[in-house]
Chain A
Amino acid sequence: MAVRKIPIAHKATQRQQRMLGISSLLLLGISLYCADLDMKQIAAGMERLPAIGRQLAQLSFTNGGELLRELVTSIVVAFLSVILGVVAALFLAFLVAANTTPNRLFGRVLNAVFVIIRTIPTTIWVLLAVASMGFGPMAGVLGLMFPTVSYLIRTFASQIEEAGGETIEAIRSVGGTWWHVIAKGLLPTLLTAFMATTAFRFEISVAESVILGMVGAGGIGSLLQGYISYYQFADLSLGILMVFFTMFLLEMGTVQIRKRMGRQN
């Protein structure tokens, strides 16, 4: 009897996977060609790496105070932008969400505006803010607010659309107003979800705020930028460590918050 192997894979899936493999390889080839990589430059960089590593390994605490102060500034910038963002988004999300918008067309136009805002990178917003307000934390807050608000609106709105239906019907059916639907029906229902989203966004905003310091938004980023420019690797490594621990603690905190919120569901 001839041994015939029985195929087990799904035909269409197999074809898709093959297509994916081929196009990935193709893209890799094109990318390598376009990036115009210079092997000598890479080799030279590699040679310098151990030296930089050694310098980074020597921690210097001389600028610790300044670093700490600027780190706090970075966090404050993120915090302010998120708080202001939440206030704006809480209201706007109800205007955008399909099941609560007072007017469909208006809701869609508003949503389109925020989609456009979202597609523009945070760095550009901060640069624009710096250009109009000058360097410093205020520019950071303003610049970070745009992407924060539009992120929160999108997430809040989809949470409203997902969980709202039955609650909205209930409050409408008793003759409640739009404000009743929001305040008595949706806010209590979605509060914990909103808080978890906000905590998550705060985490992202702190990370962004640290980086954005490098383009003039104030905070620890501007210090780090300076250290790199002047090869002060010992100071730089302390800064990096501090950022690392901040992010680590923050993530632990938000995970806790989300766990608690989850348990209340």
Chain B
Amino acid sequence: MEPILTIQGLKKQYSAGTWGLNGIELTVQPGEFIAVIGPSGAGKSTLLRCMNRLIEPTEGSVTFLGEDVVHANKRQLRSIRARMGMIFQHYNLVYRSSVLENVLHGRLGYIGSLAGMLGRYPEADKEEAIALLQKVGLENEVYKRADELSGGQKQRVGVCRALAQKPSLILADEPIASLDPKSSKTVMDAIHTNCREQEIACLVNLHQVDYAKAYATRIVGIKAGRVVFDGPVEQLTSDITQYLYEGQEHEMFHKAAI
């Protein structure tokens, strides 16, 4: 099967001296649900943002459905981004707009500048957006303003926005880091179920190793900008976890406490 995403020798240098990524090799097959774990500052967010070039990689290649992401021109990049959904830790919603409008933003990659500015979304898109909201249990929040929602609800809107793109790949950067355990489970379930059903590959950064183990089909451990573990959940022994977070136990504890 042709892979969804292939990353080769990917490097990112921020300013002279700071390397965010240091030669990442990774291949994502269709339908995979990959959890990326690693200590703070390992480069997890940088990796995800290099996939859709919210951050420009310094070196290496990213291939998405056979297309060269790194050298894509403006139009190609737009089309690539339209087919990659992204879920953010801080939800990144447009809080003054309605919940429905926020979900419809997922369709912006498919319509022109003017139509988008005027909010002319096809009726079919609206129906599907509402269906998505119903599916994650937000049928009563459709016309609320996004800032009236709770954190868990906001993130479910974020999930719906990504799904509205009908993507082949979803990138989720710590989608549950700001949520309580109950909301975390709802959100992870929403991502997981939909990716399963619609055969969307998913790359999700997680701080909680137990969540990673519970949902992922495959785990990728990153440390200092390099892949140091890549394998099925069963192979992630406590030794490896310990090595991954070496010298960071204090921080793990701190993160868990938040």
Contacts and interface: CB of A to CB of B under 8 A. Distances in A.
A176 B107 CA distance: 9
Q: Is the interface of A mostly helix, strand, loop or mixed?
A: helix
Given A173-B54, A173-B86, A175-B81, A184 B95 contact: no
A177 interface: yes
Interface in A138-167: 166-167
Contact of B117 (A167, A174, A183, A189): A183
Nearest to A179: B113
A169 interface: yes
A99 to B, nearest CB: 12
Given A183-B117, A184-B116, A174 B97 contact: no
A170 interface: yes
Interface in B143-162: 161
A194 B95 CA distance: 16
B35 to A, nearest CB: 20
Contacts of B52: 173
Interface string A185-202: 100110110000000000
A174 B81 contact: yes
Interface in B67-106: 77-86, 88, 90, 92-97, 101, 105-106
Contacts of A260: none
Contacts of A180: 108, 113, 116-117
A179 B117 CA distance: 7
A169 B117 contact: no
Contacts of A191: 96
Which one of B81, B96, B110 has the greatest number of beta carbons of chain A within 10 Å? B96
Contacts of A176: 78, 105, 108-109, 116
A172 B81 contact: yes
A180 B95 CA distance: 16
Interface string B104-125: 0111111011101101000000
A176 B116 CA distance: 9
B79 to A, nearest CB: 7
B46 interface: no
A169 B95 contact: no
A170 B78 contact: no
A68 interface: no
Given A180-B116, A185-B94, A188-B97, A175 B54 contact: no
A188 B96 CA distance: 6
Which one of B77, B82, B108 has the greatest number of beta carbons of chain A within 10 Å? B108
A115 interface: no
Contacts of A185: 94, 105
A177 B78 contact: yes
B113 A166 contact: no
Nearest to B86: A173
B111 to A, nearest CB: 9
A184 B161 CA distance: 14
A204 interface: no
A123 B132 CA distance: 58
A170 B93 contact: yes
Nearest to A265: B147
B81 A173 contact: yes
15 contacts: A171-B108, A173-B86, A174-B86, A174-B106, A175-B80, A175-B82, A176-B108, A176-B116, A178-B113, A180-B116, A184-B108, A184-B116, A184-B119, A185-B94, A189-B94
Given A174-B107, A175-B110, A188-B97, 20 more contacts: A166-B90, A166-B92, A169-B88, A169-B92, A170-B93, A171-B94, A173-B52, A174-B81, A174-B82, A175-B79, A175-B109, A175-B165, A176-B116, A177-B113, A177-B116, A179-B113, A184-B97, A185-B105, A188-B94, A189-B95
